[in-house]
């Protein structure tokens, strides 16, 4: 875990997120919390991560998501780091990780 991220405010945010029970709850919460561009950026990154785990090439990821190659590279670096946050989420979502 990145100790730079860990603080009381981030803990409070994560505690709030963990209370959300439905997709509608998430829409309501994140609409209050984030601007539309912030939410779009986070949504784009997780889709890019999924496509990278499926071995989709950069040019196809750009076409499907509109993400820049710089964003795709940053997400790829995150996938290669030890935190495994994306992979944990995908596993919890039941996404087949054997494609990686």
Residue 90 lies in a domain: yes
What CATH number does the domain containing 71 carry? 1.10.1270.10
Residue 42 lies in a domain: yes
pLDDT for 100 beyond 50:
no
> What is the 3-class SS of the chain, one letter each residue?
CCCCCCCHHHHHHHHHHHCCCCHHHHHHHHHHHCCHHHHHHHHHHHHHHHHHHCCCCHHHHHHHHCCCHHHHHHHHHHHHCCCCHHHHHHHHCCCCHHHC
Residue 3 lies in a domain: no
Residue 22 lies in a domain: yes
What is the domain extent for residue 88?
8-99
Total domains in the fold of the chain: 1
Q: What is the pTM of this model?
A: 0.88
Residue 43 lies in a domain: yes
**Residue range 33-89, pLDDT digits in tens:** 999 999 999 999 999 999 999 999 999 999 999 999 999 999 999 999 878 899 999
């Amino acid at each position: 875990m990145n100790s730079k991220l860990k603080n009381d405010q981030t803990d409070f945010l994560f505690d709030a997120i963990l209370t959300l029970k439905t997709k509608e709850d998430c829409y309501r919460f994140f609409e209050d919390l984030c601007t539309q561009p912030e939410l779009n950026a986070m949504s784009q990154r997780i889709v890019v991560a999924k496509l990278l785990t499926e071995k989709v090439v950069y040019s196809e990821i750009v076409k499907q998501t509109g993400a820049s190659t710089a964003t795709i590279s940053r997400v790829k670096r995150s996938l290669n780091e030890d935190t495994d946050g994306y992979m944990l989420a995908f596993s919890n979502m039941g996404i087949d990780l054997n494609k990686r």
